[in-house]
Amino acid sequence: MLPSEIKLMTLGLQIDAGLEAQLELARQVQLSLLPERGCCLGGWEVAFSYEPAGLLSGDYVDLIPAGPDAFYFALGDVSGKGIAASMLMSHLHATLRTLLPLKASIEAVVKTASHTFCQSALPAQFATLVIGKAERNGMVELVNAGHTPILLADANEVQVIVAANLPVGMFCSTDFTAVKRIVSPRSTLVLYSDGITESTDKSGNEYDLSRLSETLFQSRHLSPREILDTISASIADFSSSAPASDDRTMLALQRL
């Protein structure tokens, strides 16, 4: 091998090592943005699971206290994968963390966040998002911006709360509408990214909403952490433990 070829190879290895170190640093930054994995807030027990398909994730999950009797929660999914999606996810995280303490309505918060995201992202980039406020008395207010349907499990059934708004950042001036629900004690809200329902088996069949709803119904008497663990185990069994092709994130909120 010629000296020039050795030099080029050495340079290439140094560049690869540098990029790998930067990606690992970015991964650590993303992990630092995650909330506490299991906690009680405002009369609710909360748990989440976070499984990136790669080193970096475009999924977003957050919990923000709003005094002793309420808190905000959010779960989102930025379009695309890799570095670009992770950067936009961090941008969305910072935007919502700035806006929510101002105590505006969640419709106004999502509208402002969508406008900011639209101005920052490329034309084809957007984010689906669920953001809500849960209170100790069981009142929950939700804005679903183009995200997967929200599930609400009580003692008798699993209700599906369908999206009614466009994704965040799709247009720079969009209004968003919230829905309200009274959640009874021991009932559980479950939010999730599409990596959950789009998990596939060996034949290419998707886990889909019906399987997720059935698994939630069968585990509805469990704690939020146990519910998420049950769903994760069900997906692993369904997919024969194949590696995830998309980020898988879930958030469970159970009224105490």
What is the side-by-side strand order in the sheet with 59-65? Answer: 59-65, 70-78, 127-135, 139-145, 179-182
pLDDT at 8 over 60: no
Give the dihedral of Cα atoms 114, 197, 249, 138; nearest 10 deg: 80
Say which amino acid occupies 207.
Y
Q: Is 88 a residue whose pLDDT tops 70?
A: yes
Which pLDDT score, from 0 to 100, does residue 14 have? 53
Pairwise CA distance, residues 34 & 134, whole Å:
19
Q: Sorting pLDDT into bands at 50, 70 and 90, what band is 16?
A: low
The percent of residues above 90 in pLDDT, for the chain, comes to 70
The pLDDT score that the predictor gives to residue 123 is 82
pTM for the complete prediction?
0.90
Q: Per-residue confidence at 223, pLDDT binned at 50, 70, 90?
A: very high
Burial of 127 (0-12, 13-18, 19+ CB in 10 A): buried
Q: Is the pLDDT of residue 6 over 70?
A: no
- Distance between CA atoms of 12 and 57, rounded to whole angstroms? 26
Task: Dig out the tokens for 47 from the structure.
Answer: 């748990």
β-sheet bridge partners, residue 45: 40, 254
What value does the mean pLDDT take over residues 114-139? Answer: 94
If we measure between CA atoms, which residue out of 76, 125, 82 comes closest to residue 96? 76
Using CB atoms within 10 A of its CB, is residue 179 exposed (0-12), middle (13-18) or buried (19+)? middle
CB atoms within 10 A of CB 228: 22
Residue type, 158: V
Residue 25: pLDDT over 80:
no
Higher pLDDT, 69 or 163: 69
Residue 70: its pLDDT value, please?
Answer: 98
Q: Count CA atoms within 13 Å of residue 96 on its CB side.
A: 28
Does 231 score more than 60 pLDDT?
A: yes
pLDDT in tens, 149-198: 999 999 999 999 987 899 999 999 999 999 999 999 999 999 999 999 99
Which distant-in-sequence residues (6+ apart) come within 8 Å of 56 by Cβ? 23, 26, 27, 30, 82, 83, 85, 86
